[in-house]
Amino acid sequence: MKKLVLAAVLAGAASTATAGSLAEPVVEAPVIVEEANSSSSGILLPLLLLVLVGAAVAGS
């Protein structure tokens, strides 16, 4: 009789121990960061400065 009660208790405990639920998991979209093309914009300012200095020297 004790074994029957123990088996019933263990079966009841095993059936109620569930992980999770029926709800769909919430998955967030990954964040994608694009870097700006810095190779062309990095040389633009020095070239502009060179043109301005060249124009100032030519005008003198």
Identify the pLDDT of residue 40: 61
pLDDT in tens, 13-43: 666 555 666 778 788 998 888 776 655 667 8
Top-confidence residue, 60 or 5: 5
What is the token pair recorded at 9? 């208790």
Nearest in space to 4 (alpha carbons), one of 47, 12, 35: 12
Q: How far apart are CA 13 and CA 53, in angstroms?
A: 84
Query: Lowest mean pLDDT: which of 5-14, 23-32, 42-51?
Result: 5-14
Q: How far apart are CA 52 and CA 43, in angstroms?
A: 15
Identify the pLDDT of residue 20: 66
Identify the pLDDT of residue 53: 92
